[in-house]
Amino acid sequence: MTDLRVLHRQALRTAEEITGRIGATRLDVATPCGDWTLRQLLEHMVGQNHGFAAAARGETKDRSVFADRPVGDDPAGAFAASAADVAAAFSESGVLDRRWWLPEVRDGRAFPATVAIGFHFVDTVVHGWDVARALGVDAKFDPEVLEAALPVAAAVPAGESRLAAGAAFGPAVADGGTGDPLDRIVAILGRSPQWPRDA
């Protein structure tokens, strides 16, 4: 069985390739991620990368490590640096032997490392797709990444929690019947695969 961290690094590389295409794109453009602009989405992604890196290294008290972080005039560089941080943290010795504190998930529970990695893995795939759609480019994740991400997405709890203010994901929507695994993943997590047409 492939170590999920290997697939996680592949997902990060694809997300980094996508963010590297921002170029001169204005950062106030809309994204499929709720009401967030591209800047807000990128600042969230960078903050989550650093936050999960801190959790992997044993942080258990400081919620601010998960806070959104400014991306300034180099959003691609800020994302690349944060991706390198989280990839390095996930690879450190002993990281799989402890529970990770995730203050923004289920009332701040501590999770087994493999579960926590799964959370960040699927988040990387979905937010990578969000950025790609905002830029009008394709998100070309490796097939094995999508194969692994689909059951993780399907395991995200549904119900009233998805309707709450600030919920990480909205209610599932129709995937359009294309059979594309990425369409299925984003639809399960509340995004229309046809965005912005169905926005």
Distance of CA 112 to CAs 93, 99, 115, 182, Å?
Answer: 15, 5, 5, 26
Question: Which residue has 């972080």 as its token pair?
Answer: 69
Give the residue ranges of the chain where pLDDT is below 50. 1
Buried b (16+ CB within 10 A) or exposed e, 85-120: bbbebbeeeebeebebbbbebeeeeebebebbbbbb
Spell out the domain ranges in the chain: 4-140
pLDDT score at 199 = 60
pLDDT score at 64 = 97
Per residue in 64-117, pLDDT (tens digit) is: 999 999 999 999 999 999 999 999 999 999 999 999 999 988 778 899 999 999
- Cα separation, 4 vs 148, whole angstroms: 8
pLDDT score at 159 = 78
Query: Could you tell me how far CA 125 lies from the centroid of its own chain?
Result: 6
How would CATH label the architecture of 4-140? Up-down Bundle (1.20)
Q: Is the pTM of this model over 0.85?
A: yes
